[in-house]
Amino acid sequence: MRLDKFLNAVNITKRRSLAQDMCKSGVILVNGIQSKGSKEVQINDIITLNFLESSTSYRVLQIPTLKTIPKSQKDQYVERVL
């Protein structure tokens, strides 16, 4: 699944267009490398979102088969990494 679709599907970003803009700005890293929205996400990848004053990392546990998942099921697909 594409990175921008994944971020939207698992409710990390509210809209896919926001995820695409973040990728273009270079604030999203996959395994420590700046990535485009078209990057294919694999299980066990580490996705890092760098904000102005902080950063948040997630480990991919599972790839969703649906366009979106309920927020209550987010923990089945990603886990927050400290």
Which tokens belong to 47?
């996705």
> What pLDDT shows up at residue 40?
96
Rounded average pLDDT over 65-81: 92
What gap in Å lies between CA 5 and CA 54, rounded to an integer? 23
What gap in Å lies between CA 56 and CA 28, rounded to an integer? 10
**Mean pLDDT estimate for the chain:** 94
Burial class (CB in 10 A: 0-12, 13-18, 19+), 10: buried
Domain 3-61: which CATH number of 1.20.1250.20, 3.10.290.10, 2.60.40.730, 1.10.1380.10 = 3.10.290.10
Give the start-to-end residue ranges of the domains of the chain: 3-61
> What pLDDT shows up at residue 78?
96
> What pLDDT shows up at residue 77?
95
Q: What is the pLDDT of residues 47-68, one digit of tens each?
A: 999 999 999 999 999 999 988 8
Task: Tell me the pLDDT band of 82, cut-offs 50, 70 and 90.
Answer: confident
| 74 φ/ψ sector (left φ>0, alpha ψ -120 to 50, else beta) | alpha
